[in-house]
Structure 1
């Protein structure tokens, strides 16, 4: 029987190798991209919010280590269909718990990159109309 750590690692590799909603969202209403300057990981998140403040659709893309990319996939799957208020109340501690294994402070930055990008994306509308 596999250990708890082995199960977590398998779950993480599943998200890395077969990510949830990785790609581009042409109907995005909000988007943000950021990088971790220490290691070069990059994550972009594109959201489609409906009029009720609910996440109608969400995709991510990026490049970087297994931790940054797998955690982005996990976060996108967790937030799919949630409200903006639920998204805003999802804390860094919640993100680290969602990821699973304990990480060193430098590796926590890899895990939290997508969380930071998502928190900013909700405040970053795209295609604003110009007068």
Structure 2
């Protein structure tokens, strides 16, 4: 704040919060402001958000069991058929089969053609309504 030549009150005005809120940001290390307030403060002070709240970045990076990569398999045949079946069945917008080795789906999932036809029919009906 000294480098930006701003008081707590001036920073609060630029961020759209009360001066007491800014005081809490400064005195409470564990307090993480809402993203919009963090961005506004960083912009007002002319610094990167991670410099002000390094824990904010760490909290937003998924490290637990709900991260995007749920499981890995050393080779395609180690992946259970149920994974492929669920991915296809649960798809709600697009199914893109790219590459030269996706032929295994037709071999592994005996009713794949019927499933794809049902999904196509369902999509067409939804578009007509």
- TM-score over 0.5 for the alignment? no
TM-score (norm 1): 0.26
Q: Going by fraction, where is strand more abundant, 1 or 2? A: 1
Between 1 and 2, higher relative CO (CA 8 Å, sep ≥ 6) is seen in 1
TM-score (norm 2): 0.27
